[in-house]
Amino acid sequence: MSTPRDVEITVGYPALPGLEDRLEKRTVKPAEGDAAPWDATTKFTTIGTDVDRVDGLQKASGRAKYTYDITFPGMLQAMILRAPIAKGKLKGLELDEASRMPGIGAVVALKDLGAKVRFVGDAIAAVAGTTLNHVRDAIEKIRAEYDLEEHNVDYVVATDAPLLSATGQIEEPWAEAAELEAALKEAKVTHEATYRTEVQTHSSLETHGGVARWNGNDLEIWLSTQATFGCRGELAQACKAKGIDVGTVTLHAEFVGGGFGSKFSAGIEGLAVCLLAHAAKVPVKLMLDRFEEHTTTGNRPGCLMQARAGVDADGRIVAWDWRSFGHAGFTGSGGVSVPNYYTADAKKRTAHKDLNIDADPPRPMRAPGHPQGWFGAELFLDELATKAGIDPLQFRLKNDREAIRLDQWRFGAAKFGWDAARARKNEAGARFLTGSGLASARWGNLGGAGRGTPHGITCRIHQDGTVETRSGAQDIGVGTKTMMAIVTAEELGIPVARITAMTGHTTDPSGPASGGSTLTPSIASAVRHAAFLAKQTLVEIVAKHIGVPLSEVHCAGGKVGSGTAQLRWADACKLIGPNPIDERGKRHPNYAEKPFHASQCGAQFAEVKVDTWTGLVEVTRMFGIQDCGLVLAKKQAESQVLGAMIQGVSYALHEQRIMDKRSGRMLNGDFLRYKITGVRDLPRLECHMHSIANGHDSVGAAGLGEPPSVATAAAIGNAVFHAIGVPVRHLPITPDKVLAALASKKG
Amino acid sequence: MKPFTYVVPKSLAEASEAGKQPNTVLKGAGVDLIDRMKERLQTPERIVNLLPLKDELAGVAVEASGELKIGATTTIAQLEQHEALANPALAGLQAAAALTASPQIRNRATVAGNILQFTRCWYVRSEAFHCLHGGRGPTCLAMTGENRYHAVLGWMDCVRVHPSNLAPPLLALDAEYSTRLGDKVRRRKFTDLFPAEPRAQTAEHTLEAGEIVTAIHVPKPAAGTRTAYCESREKLTFDWATTACAVKVVLAGGKIAAASVVLGAVAPVPLPRPKAAALLLGEAPSATLFQKVAEAAYAGASPLAHNDYKLVVGKAIVREALEQATR
Amino acid sequence: MTVPSDRGFSRRSFLKGSAVAGIATTGLTAAAHAVPAAPESFGPGRHEIALLVNGKEQKVTVETRTTLLDALRDGLDLTGCKKVCDRGSCGGCTVLMNGEPVTGCLVLAMDAVGQSLTTVESLTEGDTPHALVQNFVKCDAMQCGFCTPGMVMSSLACLQKRGKPTEEQMRTDLSGNLCRCGTYGRVMEAIQRTAAGGTGGGK
């Protein structure tokens, strides 16, 4: 085994076209027994190449079994009775008639009498029966009575919401801050504006829910989740709290139809399906319907944001004052983040206030707080730059303090054709106006070893030459299995085709939730460690077999051996015997040494076409450059970046939860009126995967859920501003708002 | 859906007879019906399936007179792709068919079903809301609630809009429709299909119980006829129109000899605007003229709290349709 | 005289079709047959029907209110047909009916009797997966994969109808399919690649 030693590595990245490289030397101390770090000089054979998604065929053939597809003989289907009121108390609940309906196997109450009802859709009771039609028939027989209280589902008029003018500008006085006021006074140009975003729902195509099966006290559950181990613990606790004597809990989530931050908890639907299966003594499936998915499983909160700032004669930001107010549902966080790398030299202040309303609270959604904050801040920057007579790109080059992004701005602007795009003038009186905008992105998370027991991975090498790499964490579609296969293949020097990657069963080693873009950086080096250990064992077997000292045997390029005594991989594996090599790798802590960068930078450019007659905005093309850490699964990573941009188009132009204020009920809880970008709205998209060796562990991976989601809506907002000459400060940028903006320009 | 009896008629007479029974619904593809049955807003005891009556109800044909006959259960896709529609006089009808919903829906939904469908108002289509049009409440909830997609013209005590894409071009083309009620066969003007006073709880159409639309007839267009259909949306992929307009113009010697302008998605019924169309007569096409016609088409509009944008967009769509038809 | 001239139009009547497929031999049906003047009708209970799925006749028990989607998923375990919105708005349950894509959630199972149905599973029944399926993998035209089977079916219909579709035609034919992960561009690449005859090799 290796001992701790100093290793010199090269971090950073080679030159982007036309720019300088940013390669640096570092000395790191890997943990005892860990593999030596990969770095910017490593020559890879599999990593960074195009590898087919390892479960792609299962998905494309319809044979992949998601939670929704799990079925057992005699299994019942279930549904939840939801409160029709936004606020009050449950006064009466009569379940008997429902339980006597044909085909009904179990009915359980989910809310106690006298308990608070907190939003339309709060769970009251659940019913399981032979078909959903039968269950629905029975649900209609449940009599629930409520004490009604007055409710409010509009955070903008919540009791502690800021004062708004008739046009939606925040009119609340700013709290005192003498230094900031002085900086604003001294500034050459100042600007102030209010921005607003609406509630976006995650809209995972597979709804939340599960299939539960009890075997005595042991629970087996299939759950559509992005946190297998967290949900396993949650359900064990929740069932115990309901008085059930719980033995072991095994959770499966081999395929998950999207999560985007909404599926960290098993939720009331997870508990309900366990309770129903326990009561009915047969397996039960409970999957939410689309309306429940929109209205009870969280969202990206809407927010009001206000900025004021000043720039000096050189175009540097000298004062920056920012406050935000976010919808927080009946409890939760409506938090908003803003970029801080433009204002390093400014006198600055940021403040946020959550506003509670009687609605489904937010949950983390792909870069929580970021797309909304960046939309406000980046549009504000463009307004400020325009006032100061500075090109938006130049304004950012002047103020951005992050070296990586400065390279990205320059490279991206050249690729996109920024100068030409901005110089192009729309014809006077033209119906269609084009415009271009840009925006930055930042996300900071390098992953880690996990709390308590470190994240683990199993690697098995079988006698037939096949290899398994297994994690109990889940792949929610980002390509985790593929990444695991690629890292294992690279470490063992064999093709990906020999490797089977498995995720999503809690019988395998524990791993993190898919959240905060931490899964990949948190397990990639554990995958490598497991493969590294298995390789060492194989090398020992081969060394013994060919009779050479261990230190002289290598495993690379599909061969194991020394000098001329080389065994082909398949032949080497034949020496293993009937029991496979079975090693458990772990995620060691990040190196103590400073990584090349602690956060991921990105920049995106957008071009739009605005129909001034109808107000419709079409995004015609986008270019994104994204810092990806070390790109492991190239094709899947690209898919994720492009997909984030498409989601961003949707957020910028279409998505909003529309509430009926009197009832507190969502009106567009479907896919007809809750509008998501479709194929006809798809811009021409291009991304550059900026691979950077950051030297934080033996792999140096980064996650890509969040980072490419931050900039898109902001870049589109800026492009619309450029096209029509007035900012639309309220997402989504729907035709009515564009027309109002155009009218304000004329007026 | 609640349980129901599924009836398979062998003839139109049998279907019509079955359709007269209480709490019975005649079904084409059922695209709109199944949706409402899932919400349990419609709970028929019997459903009479008209799809098997293909000989009587399906297909598109050009008759000897030059009239186009469209069978009621012809799918929207079949209509769109029919060779007879590759004609400038029917371009509006083809565009309306092509812009309807999604390929999957167009392959399934019938022409008559599109025309006879229930409004998409999000209050009346939800089990949770008790509104006047749904017969369960005292007022129109949209009138004072969230109404960005609701009516700006021609509304009375309910601000629903008629969602049909096909109705506006068919009205513009002076189409007629045939029905069968028992052994009675009737043929009427398309305008008769929609209520003159579209109040709350007035049916979307004027058919009697058991009366089956069998076909739609488009008279042979006069020489020089051109039609167009345009709609505004919030996204390009699979969206409901926020406003729509079908126009017909007959050009003779560079002047407009005959014209129709029909609005969709802005009133409780598809709305012919004869006064606006009359402004076109005897005139040469021009942007100024079209703007005047667009203004006239929306004259007397009463927008609601959240939909005055529809006036701006709607007028633009009238202009666009006129430009397309005279291009 | 009207001559239906639409080529896609089937003149075979439902009854002939259903006779072939052997619709429901329930007591209720027998009773209906005993009264020849009344139309055939099927009551609210359960009925065994036969669906022609992927070239094979398959018996499945449904209620009159069962959708084709539920019959395929719950009755025949053909779970490639996904339930996503259950209202015809997302295309997740796209199957081909007589070669044309439809959403199974808006079709009554009873209406599907006698129709030729194709589900995504048919594309991997042979030894080699259909080229389109292979190209979905090759082009990484999926992420979470939940919309993917529906996308595959719409893409298949597009290829069958157009041969070598243009981008405009692909966008038309895919416009009933919603993807939350944002795979549209890669789905179009997979279609183009299949149209061009490519099945393997590098990207």
Cβ distance B25 to B33 under 8 Å?
A: yes
Say yes or no: A102 and A222 in one domain: yes
Mean pLDDT calculated for residue range A105-114 = 98
Q: Which helix (H) or strand (E) holds B229?
A: strand B225-232
Q: Which helix (H) or strand (E) holds A298?
A: none
Cβ distance C10 to C99 under 8 Å?
A: no
Cβ under 8 Å to B: C residues 33-62: 39-45
Domain final position from A557, A586, A615: A586
Say yes or no: A549 and A618 in one domain: no
CA dist., res. A287 & res. C84, Å (int)? 10
Cβ under 8 Å to A: B residues 89-148: 120, 122-123, 126, 128-129, 141, 145-146, 148
CA dist., res. B252 & res. B264, Å (int)? 27
In this predicted model, what pLDDT tens digit does every residue of A315-374 receive, in sequence order? Answer: 999 999 999 999 999 988 889 999 999 999 999 999 999 999 999 999 999 999 999 999
Domain final position from A538, A558, A586: A586
Report whether pLDDT(A126) > 70. yes
What is the distance in angstroms between the Cα of B182 and the nearest Cα belonging to chain C? Answer: 14
Mean pLDDT calculated for residue range A383-391 = 98
Cβ under 8 Å to A: C residues 14-53: none
Tokens of A462: 């079988």
For chain B, give the number of residues.
Answer: 327
**Residue carrying the six token digits 């058919």:** B207
Say yes or no: A452 and A431 in one domain: no
Report whether pLDDT(C29) > 60. no
* pLDDT given for residue C1 in this prediction: 35
Of A613, A667, A743, the CB nearest to B122: A667
Domains annotated on chain C, with CATH? 14-35+45-119 (3.10.20.30), 126-195 (1.10.150.120)
* pLDDT given for residue A747 in this prediction: 67
How many CB pairs lie under 8 A apart between chains B and C? 149
Residue A535 touches chain B, beta carbons under 8 Å:
no
pLDDT above 70 covers a percentage of chain A that reads: 99
DSSP string of A475-514, one letter each residue: --SS-HHHHHHHHHHHHHTS-GGGEEEE-SBTTSPP---S
Tokens of A65: 């079994």
Please give the single-letter amino acid code of residue B32: D
Question: In this structure, is residue A36 part of a structural domain?
Answer: no
Report whether pLDDT(C34) > 50. no
Question: In this structure, is residue A195 part of a structural domain?
Answer: no
Report whether pLDDT(C7) > 70. no
* pLDDT given for residue C23 in this prediction: 37
Residue C173 touches chain B, beta carbons under 8 Å:
yes
**Residue carrying the six token digits 């025949």:** C76
Cβ under 8 Å to B: A residues 626-665: 653-654, 658-663, 665
Q: How many CB atoms lie within 10 A of CB B309?
A: 24
Report whether pLDDT(A254) > 80. yes
Report whether pLDDT(A633) > 50. yes
**Residue carrying the six token digits 């319907």:** A289
> What's the mean pLDDT when you consider all of chain A?
96
Q: Name the DSSP letter for residue A14.
A: P
Residue B9 touches chain C, beta carbons under 8 Å:
yes
Report whether pLDDT(A672) > 50. yes
CA-wise closest residue to A479 among A524, A509, A448: A524
Question: In this structure, is residue A84 part of a structural domain?
Answer: yes
Q: What is the pairing mode between strands B5-8 and B46-49?
A: parallel
Report whether pLDDT(C22) > 90. no
Cβ distance A697 to A680 under 8 Å?
A: no
* pLDDT given for residue C27 in this prediction: 30
Domain final position from A586, A614, A636: A586
Of the residues C47, C148, C151, the best mutation for testing chain A's interface (the one with the most A CB atoms within 10 Å of its CB) is: C148
Say yes or no: A223 and A111 in one domain: yes
Distances from the Cα of A275 to the Cα of A109, A252, A263, C187, angstroms:
10, 18, 20, 41
pLDDT above 70 covers a percentage of chain C that reads: 79
Say yes or no: A53 and A77 in one domain: no
Mean pLDDT calculated for residue range A151-169 = 94
For CATH 3.30.390.50, the residue range(s) in chain B are: 225-326
Say yes or no: A661 and A703 in one domain: yes
B-chain residues near C102 (CB < 8 A) = 104, 107-108
Report residue A598's pLDDT band, with 50, 70 and 90 as the boundaries.
confident
Report whether pLDDT(A111) > 80. yes
Question: In this structure, is residue A163 part of a structural domain?
Answer: no
Handedness of CA A609, A610, A613, A614 (dihedral sign): positive
Mean pLDDT calculated for residue range A62-72 = 98
* pLDDT given for residue C36 in this prediction: 44
Per CATH, domain B225-326 is 3.30.70.2190: no
**Closest-approach residue (CA) in chain A for B309:** A736
Mean pLDDT calculated for residue range B28-48 = 96
Tokens of A348: 């600055």
CATH number of B54-116+162-218: 3.30.465.10
* pLDDT given for residue C126 in this prediction: 85
Residue B107 touches chain C, beta carbons under 8 Å:
yes
Cβ distance C139 to C190 under 8 Å?
A: yes
> What's the mean pLDDT when you consider all of chain B?
97
Q: Which helix (H) or strand (E) holds A371?
A: helix A370-388
**Residue carrying the six token digits 């926020």:** B242
Output the domain CATH number for residue A76: 3.90.1170.50
In this predicted model, what pLDDT tens digit does every residue of A523-544 receive, in sequence order? Answer: 999 999 999 999 999 999 999 9
Report whether pLDDT(B13) > 80. yes
In this predicted model, what pLDDT tens digit does every residue of B80-111 receive, in sequence order? Answer: 999 999 999 999 999 999 999 999 999 999 99
Cβ distance B146 to B131 under 8 Å?
A: no
In this predicted model, what pLDDT tens digit does every residue of B254-284 receive, in sequence order? Answer: 999 999 999 999 999 999 999 999 999 999 9
CA dist., res. A5 & res. B208, Å (int)? 90
Output the domain CATH number for residue A688: 3.30.365.10
- The model's pTM is 0.96
What is the distance in angstroms between the Cα of C137 and the nearest Cα belonging to chain B? Answer: 24
Domain with A376, as residue range(s), is: 303-445+595-746
Say yes or no: A578 and A638 in one domain: no
CA dist., res. A733 & res. A723, Å (int)? 13
Report residue C203's pLDDT band, with 50, 70 and 90 as the boundaries.
very low
CA dist., res. A651 & res. B95, Å (int)? 29
CA-wise closest residue to A375 among A670, A636, A730, A625: A730
* pLDDT given for residue C37 in this prediction: 58
Of the residues C184, C187, C188, the best mutation for testing chain A's interface (the one with the most A CB atoms within 10 Å of its CB) is: C184
Phi, psi of A402 (to 5 degrees): -105, 120
Say yes or no: A467 and A517 in one domain: yes
How many structural domains is chain A composed of? Answer: 3
CA dist., res. C189 & res. C197, Å (int)? 12
Contacts of A210 (CB under 8 A, 6+ apart): A67, A221, A222, A223, A224, A266, A269, A270, A273, A274, A285, A286, A287
Phi, psi of A583 (to 5 degrees): -115, 145
Report residue C198's pLDDT band, with 50, 70 and 90 as the boundaries.
low
Say yes or no: A601 and A726 in one domain: yes
Report whether pLDDT(A548) > 60. yes
Contacts of B291 (CB under 8 A, 6+ apart): B315, B319
